[in-house]
Homo-oligomer: A and B are copies of this chain.
């Protein structure tokens, strides 16, 4: 996030950033959650169209073993293609040191190591304690430094607002783990409401403390729309100056524990909200809607989400730029 300076718009309720980056996670968080395997060539087309629509940060895949996630088995090729697109900052999810080595080999701009603040969720999903993940980040940092590569390392603290297995997750534990990730060598940290348990008040409370700890190294909010609160949670974080959010086209993704429930914040809806607020996103919303239609066709039968594609743009669009 940026410091409150000329880059923020003052309002009655805090300073909003003038510019916000939406990081597309549809190709990773979205596709990993659905059964349909999108062919590699179509992922290339998705990336091309996304860049043409103004997207500059895209999480292109995940270096998990292909047998566990066949949808993302082509991450190496997709990353290589993404790196060939000028102006695109390409990130990948890495579950461990082995994944990080592949990310370094592929010259990813950023690798994101997820950590689950819920011990129960961490053990169930990663078979590691959160502190094991912190230690892994230290090894990843050493590998990155030894490689001489410029790949940045982000520690993403998930289940930060609660978890479907253990329920409550203590703020103090979330913040302790975030500090530990920074201490272990993370270049940046982010917070994720993995299962849609956050609300605007808990976002304000936790993000304020996280920013106090991480400062400029706090980089992103990731909100699932499971209970319809993704955009309002973004709003609460925006008011603290957070200027990067994950979102997925058509809102694909979602929570495996709530079948049919909404997934990630929908990229096109989030871009619409921000532009309506006169916050610059650099995105071409009609082009995003066209890409959404294309992707929805590729994954026909899978649940998609979002409101704008159905309602259409208002008569007042395009919005004038901020004064």
Would B273 and A199 count as touching, CB distance under 8 A?
A: yes
Contact of A273 among B11, B162, B232, B311 (CB under 8 A): B232
Docked complex: A301-320 residues within 8 A CB-CB of B: 306-308, 310-312, 314-316
List the B side residues contacting A273 at CB < 8 Å. 199-200, 228-229, 232
Chain B residues, CB < 8 A from A262: 307, 310-311
Residues of B within 8 Å of A168, CB to CB, are 316
Does residue A208 face the partner (Cβ distance < 8 Å to B)? yes
Q: Name A270's closest neighbour in chain B (CB-CB).
A: B228
Interface size grouping (class) on chain A? 35 or more
B201, B202, B227, B315: the one within 8 Å of A311 (CB): B227
B13 touches A239 (CB 8 A): yes
A196 contacts the other chain (Cβ, under 8 Å)? yes
How many identical chains are in the complex? 2
Chain B residue at minimum C-beta to C-beta distance from A224: B311
Q: Mark A280-323, 1 if CB is under 8 A from B, else 0.
A: 00000000000000000000000000111011101110000000
Surface stretch bound by B, among A40-48, A105-113, A213-221, A253-261: A253-261
- Which residues of chain A (188-225) have a CB below 8 Å from chain B? 195-197, 199-202, 204, 208, 225
Asked if A154 lies at the interface with its beta carbon under 8 angstroms from chain B, I say no
Query: What residues of B have a CB within 8 angstroms of the CB of A258 in the complex?
Result: 310-312
Are A261 and B201 interface neighbours, CB within 8 A? Answer: no
- A197's contact among B232, B255, B269, B314, by CB below 8 Å, is which? B314
| Shortest Cβ gap from A8 to chain B (Å) | 13
Residue of A201, A228, A229, A276 contacting most chain B CB atoms (<10 Å): A228
Residues of B within 8 A of A2 (CB): none
Evaluate whether A12 and B228 lie within 8 angstroms (CB atoms) in the complex, with A273-B199, A316-B162 already known: no
Q: Say whether, besides A201-B277, A315-B164, A316-B197, A12 and B208 are in contact (CB < 8 Å).
A: yes
B228 near A306 with CB under 8 A, answer: yes
- Chain B CB within 8 A of A58 CB: no
Q: Which of B197, B235, B316 contacts A200 (CB 8 A)?
A: B235
Find the B residue at minimum CB distance from A274.
B199
Q: Does A167 contact B (CB under 8 A)?
A: yes
